[in-house]
């Protein structure tokens, strides 16, 4: 019998981001999400990943659309979107991306970084 080669199953981007967010915002971080929010967040994760490899402005437009599909008036929901950026890229990237996709909603970013 041939020996199987070890090939770990790759983890999906949204699972990686969810683990990161739970580690930083707590295990109940996703509690405020509705079904629509959850789907918008999952799409956002993959768009952040796409922007990370392409730096294509179209990815920013798509990110803006996914954020608009969520509860933008709920800071807890917006924190999840902001926290996704360093989960997939780097801590400094949220200051680059978030103002471009949600210029009127910087409260979530300030909450994460502890600024007032």
Reported as a single tens digit per residue, the pLDDT across 7-37 is 666 789 999 999 999 999 999 999 999 999 9
The position carrying tokens 């952040």 is 48
Q: What pLDDT is stored for residue 27 in this prediction?
A: 95
DSSP state string for 80-103:
HHHHHHHHHS-TTHHHHHHHHH-T
pTM above 0.85, yes or no: no
Residues 6+ apart with CB under 8 A from 99: 106, 109
Which residues have CB under 8 Å from 84's CB, separation 6+? 17, 21, 41, 44, 45, 48
Please say whether the beta carbons of 41 and 68 come within 8 A. Answer: no
Tens-digit pLDDT profile for residues 35-75: 999 999 999 999 999 999 999 999 999 999 999 999 888 88
């Amino acid at each position: 019998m041939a020996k199987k080669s070890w090939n770990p199953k790759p983890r999906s981007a949204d699972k990686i981001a969810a683990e990161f967010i739970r580690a930083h915002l707590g295990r109940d971080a996703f509690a405020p999400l509705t079904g629509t929010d959850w789907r918008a967040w999952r799409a956002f994760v993959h768009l952040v990943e796409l922007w990370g490899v392409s730096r294509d402005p179209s990815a920013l437009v798509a990110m803006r659309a996914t954020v608009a599909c969520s509860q933008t008036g709920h800071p807890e929901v917006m924190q999840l979107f902001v926290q996704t950026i360093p989960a997939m890229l780097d801590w400094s990237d949220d200051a680059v991306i978030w103002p471009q996709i949600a210029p009127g909603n910087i409260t979530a970013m300030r909450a994460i970084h502890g600024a007032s």
